[in-house]
């Protein structure tokens, strides 16, 4: 008689993942993305570290990695949080984090536990700094295929830079091994306040999804130049009467040329 499947408990996931290397935990994420209900008691590391699971982990990373990285960096890479975590066992830290992570991001428990074991072992200070949110604001131009052609406005932009990094298996050194390439596209969430509702309606009514609209402004704090094409625009009443939201997938940030 085949033993019925029993979903592993949080303690069982923690015990299983703490016996894996960081690379194995990340490869496990790939496996769990396609096989969410494995029998942990018979799951061998040889089933986890495979070329297929490496590629599945890469595919998973494209849509979910940034969310988990930001959650980790925002909550557990701050000095106070790191100091508090250093005083208690890692398993207890992970056990306290998992419920919030699962509830906030709707992440399966197994993937959440594997990610956190990888994250704590990887020491992500550089990742958190390199891939953190960046905010810009300033005055500049919005250009496009609307009758006015060009409008001066005030910009607020939140930018998440592209993520390109590697998860490597030290056990394979000096050979290539099954490297996992984490690659996530940049995200730009912008707001522009235009002079009147006339310009707002003009942009919306004439907008086309062919990147014919663009923006170009100078950041108030850094004095750097921000520019890019616009993928989509929308008006949300709660933002204000003359405020448009926009999304860009190719924004460029040029550093200030001032000495």
Does one domain contain both 59 and 79? Answer: yes
Q: What is the DSSP string of 110-149?
A: HHHHHHHHHHHHH--HHHHHHT--EEEEEEEEEE-SSTT-
Task: Write down which residue in 75, 98, 128 finishes a domain.
Answer: 128
Does one domain contain both 140 and 250? Answer: yes
Residue 50 in any domain: the answer is yes
31 near 37, Cβ under 8 Å? Answer: no
Does one domain contain both 91 and 165? Answer: no
Does one domain contain both 110 and 56? Answer: yes
Task: Write down which residue in 86, 112, 128 finishes a domain.
Answer: 128
Residue 1 in any domain: the answer is no
Q: What is the pLDDT of residue 5?
A: 66
Instruction: Render pLDDT for 13-58 as a digit per residue (tens, 0 to 9).
Output: 999 999 999 999 999 999 999 998 888 888 888 899 999 999 999 9
Instruction: Render pLDDT for 197-229 as a digit per residue (tens, 0 to 9).
Output: 999 999 999 998 888 999 999 999 999 999 999
Task: Write down which residue in 105, 128, 151 finishes a domain.
Answer: 128
Does one domain contain both 205 and 100? Answer: no
Look up the domain containing 73 and give its range: 10-128
Does one domain contain both 143 and 105? Answer: no
Does one domain contain both 72 and 161? Answer: no
Residue 5 in any domain: the answer is no
Residue 231 in any domain: the answer is yes
Does one domain contain both 188 and 218? Answer: yes
Mean pLDDT of the chain: 89
Residue 192 in any domain: the answer is yes
């Amino acid at each position: 008689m085949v033993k019925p499947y029993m979903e592993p408990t949080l303690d069982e996931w923690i015990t299983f993942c703490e016996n894996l290397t960081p690379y194995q935990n990340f490869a496990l994420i790939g496996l769990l993305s396609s096989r969410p209900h494995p029998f942990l008691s018979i799951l061998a590391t040889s089933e986890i570290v495979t070329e297929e699971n490496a590629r599945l982990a890469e595919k998973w990373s494209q849509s979910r990695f940034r969310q988990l990285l930001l959650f980790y960096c925002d909550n557990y890479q701050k000095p106070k949080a790191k100091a508090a975590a250093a005083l208690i066992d890692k398993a207890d830290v992970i056990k306290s984090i998992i419920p919030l992570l699962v509830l906030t991001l709707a992440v399966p428990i197994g993937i959440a536990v594997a990610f956190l074991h990888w994250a704590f072992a990887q020491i992500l200070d550089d990742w958190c700094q390199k891939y953190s949110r960046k905010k810009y604001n300033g005055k500049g131009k919005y250009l496009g295929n609307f009758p006015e052609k060009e409008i001066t406005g005030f910009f607020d932009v939140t930018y998440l830079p592209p993520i390109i990094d590697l998860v490597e298996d030290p056990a394979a050194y000096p050979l290539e091994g099954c490297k996992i390439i984490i690659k996530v596209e940049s995200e730009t969430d912008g707001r522009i306040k235009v002079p009147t509702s006339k310009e707002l309606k003009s942009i919306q009514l004439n907008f086309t999804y062919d990147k014919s609209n663009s923006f170009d402004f100078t950041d108030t704090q850094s004095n750097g130049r921000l520019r890019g094409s616009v993928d989509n625009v929308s008006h949300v009443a709660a933002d204000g009467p003359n405020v448009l939201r926009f999304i860009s997938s190719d924004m460029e940030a040029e550093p200030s040329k001032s000495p």
